Chain A
Amino acid sequence: MGLAAVLRIALKALRVNKLRTALTMLGMIIGVAAVITMLAVGGGAQERVREQLKNLGSNLMLVLPGSTTASGVRLGAGAAQVLSEEDALAIALEVQGVVVAAPTIRGTGQVVAGNANWSTQFFGTTNDYLVARDWPLAAGRLFEPAEVAGSGKVALIGQTTAKQLFGEGVDPIDQVIRVRKVPLTVIGVLERKGQNALGQDQDDIVLMPISTARNRVLGQTQGRQRRIGAISVKVADGVDMKVVEERIRDLLRQRLKVQPGAEDPFTIRNLTEILQAQEAASRVLTLLLGAVASVSLLVGGIGIMNIMLVSVTERTREIGLRMAVGARARDILEQFLVEAVTLSMIGGLAGIVLGVAGSYVVGALANWTIAITPQSIALAAGFSAIVGVFFGFYPARKASRLLPIEALRYE
C-alpha cells in the first residue's frame, strides 16, 4: 500500500473523533510550542552576549595600572600610573600572538561645537585602538603618523557625539570642536557600536591622538610624561589568550622591575574571556529551558500513546476485518504508526506556529531579545515525529499482533 493511501486512511481515522484528536494534538502543540519558545528565549540571551562580544572587539585584553598606596591609603585600580607608551610598544613588538597594543589616556569634559555643547569622554590613543576594538570608520580618515607624534589638532568622533553636537544630517567632517577649550578638527566619524556589556553608550566618545590628549587637552606635568591610562591589546585569532596574558605579565614585570613574589602593579583583564564565560552560562540556560520544555513534549507523547491504545481497542473489529481481507501485520502496524505520527506531526507543526508566535509575544512583553533558529524549529519538528513513532509504536504493534479470528469476534 502506498504511503499516500495510508496517510489518507490515517487522516480519515483522525477526523472521526475530532475533539479527541484535537485534545491529543493539544498535548503536542503545547510541548512543541514550549520547546520553541524556551529555546528562543535562551537563544536570545546567548545572542545578546554574542552581540556584546562582537561589540567589544574579538580577542581583546585590557592592561590597567594597579593600585598604589599613598600614606597608608590604598587607592583604587589605575591610581598607580606605572604604564607608559613604551610598555604598549614593547607589548606590541615583543609579545608573540599580539596583533596590536594601543595605549590610551582617558578623560572627560565638555565638548563645544558652534552653539551646541555636550559632556562626553575622550580617549587619547593611536589608530591601533580602532584595530583592537574592531571599530571601523563610517566616514573620514584615520590619524596621520605626524598627528599622533606631534599633538595634531584632530579628532574622531562617535555617532552619538556627532548627533549631539551637529544634529542629524550634518556632515561633521572638517568642522571644529573644542574639547576643554582646545579646538580640534573632526577628521572622521566612527561606525555605530551600540551599547557595551554594561549598557553604556559606546558611541558617546571623542578620540584624539595620544600626544594631543596629554599635551594640549589634559596638560599633564612633565613628571608624568608618557604615562598612560591603559593598554588595549588585541590577540591574534587562534592563539590561547591565557598564554598571551602570561607573556604580557612576564614582560611587564620585567620592564617595571617588580621583585619576584611582589604583587603586580598592574591588572590584565581578559574581557573576551569574561564574556565567553557569560555565553557559556547562557548556553547552559538554553539547555536547561529546553530540557524543562521537553518534559511537556514527553507528556504530549504519552497522551498520543494513550489515545492510540484506546483507538486500537475500539477498532479491533476493523483490524480483524482488514486482516481477513488480506492486510498483513505489517500493513496494520504501518497504518497505526502513520496515524500516530500524523497526529504528532500536525500537532508539532501547529506547535511550531504557536511557539514562534509565542516567542515574539514573550520578546515584546518582556522586552527580551529572542532568537528563533532554523535548528530549533527543525529540532522541534524532528522531535514531534520521533515522539509519534516512539509512542505510536507500542499501540501499533499491539494492533498488528491481534489474531484475525479474535479481532473479528471482538465485541
Chain B
Amino acid sequence: MLIRVEDLHKNYVLGDTVVRALDGVSLSIDAGEFVAVMGPSGSGKSTFMNMLGCLDRPTSGAYWLAGEDVAHKDADELAAIRNRRIGFVFQQFNLLARTSAVENVELPLVYAGVAPRERRRRALERLAGVGLAARADHLPSQLSGGQQQRVAIARALVNDPSLILADEPTGALDSRTSVEIMALLQQLNAAGMTIVVVTHERDIAAYASRLIAFRDGRVKSDARQAARDAAADLAALDAQPQASE
C-alpha cells in the first residue's frame, strides 16, 4: 500500500465561518494504480491533492506515504518528501521561463544535491523517455503546449518518485494533445508508476482504472473501472494503425 489516509480533515477559516474543505476522508491507494479524482469545484478534490502532495498539512487525521507518517512533518521535511517521493504535473506546466527543457527537468535534482554531470545525464534520459531528446536545449517558449507538458512529466519523473500527482494535466491542452498526454501517463502506469490525476473532465477520468468522486469534502464514490486505452484513441484519431508518440 503506497498511500493511506485516515479521517483526514482540513478546515479553512474565512472570516467568521469555518470551511470544511476535507471532512473525514479515508482511503488507500496501492502502488501501481492509476487513479482519477473528480468532483465539482469546492468539492475538496484540490485540497485532497495538496494533502497527497505534501504541499499542505491536514487539520487532523493521518497520512502514510510509503509507510511514512507524513501528516506531522515540518516544512523542511515535507520539502524533502516532495523532492524524493512525488512528481508534480500542473495544468499550466509551470516550467521556468528562459530555462532550457533539460535544465527544467534537472530542477528537482538540484535540490536533491545531485552533481551537475549526473543531473544532466539523468535529465536527458528522462527527456528521451518522453520523446523530446532532440529538444533538450529548447526554451519553453519554443515548445508547443503538449511538448511543454511532456517536459513537465520528465521533470516529475527525474527523481524516481513513488507517485505522480497530476493536477488537471490536460486543462490547458487541446483534445488531441490531451489524449497524447494521457497515453503517456498510461504508458508510465503500465511500467509500474502510481499516478493520481485530478480532473473535472469525465473524458480524461475515463483513462484511469479507478475513479474517486468528491463532494462537500467527502468521498462520494470510489470505484474501479475499465480504463479507456488512450493509445487506441490516438490511433482512431489518426486513422492509422499505430499512434505516433
Contact = CB atoms under 8 A, between A and B. Distances in A.
Interface of A: 1, 5, 12, 16, 317-318, 320-331, 403-405, 408
A86 B90 CA distance: 102
Contacts of B79: 323, 326-329
Nearest to A401: B75
14 contacts: A5-B110, A5-B116, A12-B98, A318-B96, A321-B90, A323-B55, A323-B82, A324-B82, A325-B111, A326-B80, A329-B75, A330-B76, A405-B55, A408-B55
- Closest CB pairs A-B (n = 6): A326-B83, A326-B111, A325-B108, A328-B79, A321-B94, A404-B55
Contacts of B56: 403-405
Given A1-B111, A405-B50, A325 B55 contact: no
A8 to B, nearest CB: 10
B96 A325 contact: no
B236 interface: no
B72 to A, nearest CB: 17
Majority secondary structure, A binding face? helix
A326 B76 contact: no
B102 to A, nearest CB: 14
B76 A317 contact: no
A389 to B, nearest CB: 22
B113 interface: yes
Contacts of A327: 79, 111
B1 to A, nearest CB: 24
Query: Interface residue tally of chain B, by bracket?
Result: 20 to 34
Interface string B86-112: 001010101011110000000110111
A328 B96 contact: no
Nearest to B49: A405
Residue among A321, A323, A330 with most chain B CB within 10 A: A321
B53 interface: yes
Given A1-B110, A322-B107, A322-B111, A329 B98 contact: no
B108 A326 contact: yes
A325 B119 CA distance: 14
Given A1-B113, A408-B55, A325 B75 contact: no
A408 to B, nearest CB: 7
A157 B28 CA distance: 106
A322 B159 CA distance: 14
A324 B98 contact: no
Residue among A16, A324, A408 with most chain B CB within 10 A: A324
B53 A324 contact: yes
Contact of A317 (B83, B94, B111, B155): B94
Contacts, number: 64
Contacts of A322: 107, 111
A400 to B, nearest CB: 10
B183 to A, nearest CB: 24
Interface of B: 50, 53, 55-56, 75-76, 79-80, 82-84, 88, 90, 92, 94, 96-99, 107-108, 110-113, 116, 155, 159
Nearest to B76: A328
B75 A328 contact: yes
A405 B54 CA distance: 10
A16 B92 CA distance: 21
Contacts of B108: 325-326
A12 B97 CA distance: 11
B81 to A, nearest CB: 9
A94 to B, nearest CB: 80
Nearest to B115: A2
A321 B96 contact: yes
B123 to A, nearest CB: 13
Contacts of B92: 317
Contacts of A404: 55-56
A326 B55 contact: no
B113 A325 contact: no
A108 to B, nearest CB: 80
Nearest to A317: B94
B140 to A, nearest CB: 12
A5 B99 CA distance: 14
A331 B55 contact: no
B155 to A, nearest CB: 7
Nearest to B103: A12
A320 B83 CA distance: 13
Contact of B88 (A1, A12, A325, A329): A325
Contacts of A329: 75-76, 79
Contacts of A328: 75-76, 79-80, 111
Nearest to B77: A328
B222 to A, nearest CB: 24
B110 A324 contact: no
A330 B98 CA distance: 24
Contacts of A330: 76
Contacts of A323: 55, 79, 82
Nearest to B158: A325
B18 to A, nearest CB: 18
Contacts of A331: 111
Contacts of B83: 325-326
A7 to B, nearest CB: 13
A325 B82 contact: yes
Given A330-B76, A405-B56, A408-B55, A325 B98 contact: no
A327 B84 CA distance: 11
B181 to A, nearest CB: 19
